[in-house]
Amino acid sequence: ERLKYIRNFSIIAHVDHGKSTLADRLIEFTGAIEKREMKEQLLDTLDIERERGITIKLQAVRLKYKDYILHLIDTPGHVDFGYEVSRSLAACEGALLLIDATQGIEAQTIATFWQALNLNLEIIPVINKVDLPSADVERIKRQIADVLGLDPEGAILASGKAGIGIKEILDAIVERIPPPKGDEDKPLKALIFDSYYDPYRGAVAFVRVIDGKVSVGTRIKLFSTGKEFEVTEVGAQTPKMEKLEELRAGDVGYIAAAIKDVRDIRVGDTITDAKKPADEPIEGFRPAKPMVYAGLYPTGNTTFEDLRDALEKYSINDAAITYEVESSPALGLGFRCGFLGLLHLEIVQERLEREYGVELITTAPNVIYKVITKKGEEIEIRNPSELPDPTKIDKILEPYIEASIITPSEYVGAIMQLVQEKRGIQKSFEYLDQKTVLLRYEIPMGEVLFDFHDKLKTATRGYASFDYEFVGYKEGDLVKMDILINDEPVDALSFIVHKDKAYRIGRNIVDKMKEVIPRQLFEVKIQAAIGSKVIASSKVPALRRDVLAKCYGGDITRKKKLLEKQKEGKKRMKQFGKVELPQEAFLSILKAD
Ligand code: GDP
Ligand code: MG
């Protein structure tokens, strides 16, 4: 019957191993669209994604191959979006595991492989980029057998770029991946694995229908909230948004129901029929939980109201961001925002500025700490300046991650040293092959925010790869450090740091800030303090008179230029008392370790 001719699959890979290129090639090969119609990389729809070369938005493309309908479900390629990856995989019966033949297995290869295996997917290994002279197919085959425990004879040699192995891949999808199961006569159950906001359709859900069917006019209900909507459109991306009459058990497609806010269709939630609902939701739903917080404050010509409007509009598009009003003595009114990770923060900041035209200052991001007070209460700390007085604290807990690092063996020493500086504890050490090592560490998540990734890349000349997952909270010997500008503490610059590192970081941070704070008409004193104890200080000397005289004497164009430059600079400055603090000053903590 019908289901026999459907296949649902994803492509999983370490970043840059060629997922997007291969996806485009599969789309092109199956003739879903003409080559000349193809934008550079179709699955990466957002501009920022394309610029950064990463895929953030998951989408699903319907391909026709022989008598079959194949649904290719895209997954985001960054650790911030791990939960979205798991839901996309839950919508599939199989996955292509792509491995770059010149690089071999890397950290994300293993992480996504385990996710797929846990969901019982049929995994087809694909050795990609075999067109390159440095491709080492034999080595990758050995890794597939030794590290993943898969049969290397089943691996397909391919090149998305040169168009090698494409037909073999499509045939393998049809032959090796099982068709979906499901019963279209049962009550509707559809798994949401992605959503986006469309100005015409409203919030659109990408779903895999498990049981039942859905069509225009169906009254649907969201399991987690009980909210109901009436379906206005169903369809599939081909890759155009193409309307269909209905979606049935086994199908992958989209549902629109004049929903105004993406937060109403959360990834992992189950859509059912309001008139004859399923008894139980699909398991595995988990509301998005921010891991990192930062303050966003208006600056330049942007007002608090402008920023609030922008955040409201933006969050219609992004169900993962949270925000609440925060008032900072130093920065005024702004928002404390929660993000899935640092990349998510960067994306939000960039889009707010670019698409919503606001000017902002971002405070240094921090993880969520937990404080157990002497009275036995547990408090969540999302803003370091809110840490209670030390005399009231029994203990402070900090979040830990388990990091997996894959590296050529010659860099193991350098990595161990780096991880030690980051207070990491080694969990395991394993040779993947003669020259490749997999290291596992538990590291405080806060330490990873301090440019861990950059340092890892530098220490290993870019050869090590890194992936992580959150594992839990542990007690830490932590203190709050305050930064004082001309003897006034700036709450927005406070941060939490391990006692053993406090002196070094305090020293580094005042030195960094000295470099980034522009000289003013008077001397600026910068101090780092723990409680009332100043541990480091530096000074930005006052501008010399003759420099000023030159500025104000000179010809008119020069003055104008200077004014323009000042205006430009203002964008990213925040006035603190008489001192102007540039954006870099707020982020200097990230570079202080
Ligand atoms: P993704 O991060 O996994 O989506 O990887 P992309 O598809 O964006 O590819 C990363 C880089 O590898 C790009 O510069 C591609 O042009 C290149 N690339 C992808 N597939 C191949 C291939 O089969 N052969 C070669 N030589 N380069 C490839
Ligand atoms: Mg990509």
Mean pLDDT of the chain: 89
How does pLDDT run across 239-250, given as a tens digit for each residue? Answer: 778 899 999 999
From the CA atom positions of the chain, what is the Rg in Å?
A: 27
Q: How confident is the model at residue 54 (pLDDT cuts 50, 70, 90)?
A: very low
In ligand 1, the atom with minimum distance to the C-alpha of 55 is 4
Closest to 445 measured CA to CA, from 79, 100, 123, 49: 79
Q: Tell me, what's the pLDDT at 591?
A: 80
Cα 207 to ligand 2 centroid, rounded to whole Å: 21
Say yes or no: CB of residue 15 within 6 Å of ligand 1: yes
- The whole-number average pLDDT for the span 272-289 is 92
Say yes or no: CB of residue 77 within 6 Å of ligand 1: yes
- If one compares 199 and 478, the residue with the highest pLDDT of the two is 478
Residue bearing the CA closest to ligand 1, atom 10:
16
Write down the H helix ranges in 190-341. 304-315
Cα 129 to ligand 1 centroid, rounded to whole Å: 8
Say yes or no: CB of residue 52 within 6 Å of ligand 1: no
> Measured between alpha carbons, how far is 84 from 80 in angstroms, rounded to an integer?
9
Report whether pLDDT(53) > 50.
no
Region of 54 on the Ramachandran plot (φ > 0 left; ψ -120 to 50 alpha; else beta) = beta
Say yes or no: CB of residue 160 within 6 Å of ligand 1: yes
- If one compares 37 and 478, the residue with the highest pLDDT of the two is 478
Range of 78-87, 300-309, 551-560 with top mean pLDDT? 300-309
How does pLDDT run across 176-215, given as a tens digit for each residue? Answer: 999 999 999 999 999 999 988 888 888 999 999 999 999 9
Say yes or no: CB of residue 50 within 6 Å of ligand 1: no
Mutate which of 14, 16, 21 to test ligand 1's pocket (most atoms within 8 Å of Cβ)? Answer: 21
- The least confident of 25-29, 102-106, 438-442, 583-587 is 583-587
How does pLDDT run across 403-428, given as a tens digit for each residue? Answer: 999 999 999 999 999 999 999 999 99
With 0-12 / 13-18 / 19 or more C-beta atoms within 10 angstroms meaning exposed / middle / buried, residue 45 is middle
Cα 62 to ligand 1 centroid, rounded to whole Å: 22
Q: Tell me, what's the pLDDT at 546?
A: 56
How does pLDDT run across 105-155, given as a tens digit for each residue? Answer: 998 899 899 999 999 999 999 999 999 999 999 999 999 999 999 999 999
Report whether pLDDT(394) > 90.
yes
**Residues 6+ positions from 3 with CB-CB distance below 8 Å:** 179, 180, 181, 182, 249, 250
Q: Could you say which ligand is closest to the alpha carbon of residue 49?
A: 2
Q: What is the dihedral of CA 237, 238, 244, 247, to 10 degrees?
A: -60
Closest to 52 measured CA to CA, from 446, 351, 367: 351
Report whether pLDDT(551) > 80.
no
- The whole-number average pLDDT for the span 310-339 is 91
Cα 161 to ligand 1 centroid, rounded to whole Å: 7
Q: What is the DSSP-derived secondary structure letter of residue 55?
A: -
Q: Tell me, what's the pLDDT at 555?
A: 58
Report whether pLDDT(39) > 60.
no
Q: How confident is the model at residue 49 (pLDDT cuts 50, 70, 90)?
A: very low
In 40-188, the DSSP E strands lie at 60-65, 68-73, 94-100, 122-128, 156-157
Report whether pLDDT(495) > 70.
yes
> Measured between alpha carbons, how far is 525 from 583 in angstroms, rounded to an integer?
18
- DSSP secondary structure string, 151-204? -GGGPEE-BTTTTBSHHHHHHHHHHHSPPPP--TTSPPEEEEEEEEEETTTEEE
C-alpha separations of 261 from 58, 189, 191, 223 in Å: 18, 21, 18, 16
Q: How confident is the model at residue 40 (pLDDT cuts 50, 70, 90)?
A: low
In ligand 1, the atom with minimum distance to the C-alpha of 44 is 4
Report whether pLDDT(554) > 50.
yes
Cα 128 to ligand 1 centroid, rounded to whole Å: 9
Rounded to 5°, angle at Cα 207 from 45 and 27? 45
Cα 153 to ligand 2 centroid, rounded to whole Å: 27
Helix (H, G, I), strand (E, B) or coil at 134: coil
Q: How confident is the model at residue 472 (pLDDT cuts 50, 70, 90)?
A: very high
Cα 500 to ligand 1 centroid, rounded to whole Å: 43
Buried b (16+ CB within 10 A) or exposed e, 302-327: beeebbbebbeebbbbbbbbbbeebe
In ligand 1, the atom with minimum distance to the C-alpha of 158 is 23
Say yes or no: CB of residue 78 within 6 Å of ligand 1: no
Closest to 271 measured CA to CA, from 236, 241, 328, 227: 227
Cα 108 to ligand 2 centroid, rounded to whole Å: 13
Range of 162-171, 294-303, 381-390 with top mean pLDDT? 162-171
Q: Tell me, what's the pLDDT at 549?
A: 53
Task: Supply the pTM of this predicted model.
Answer: 0.83
- The least confident of 80-84, 175-179, 230-234, 276-280 is 80-84
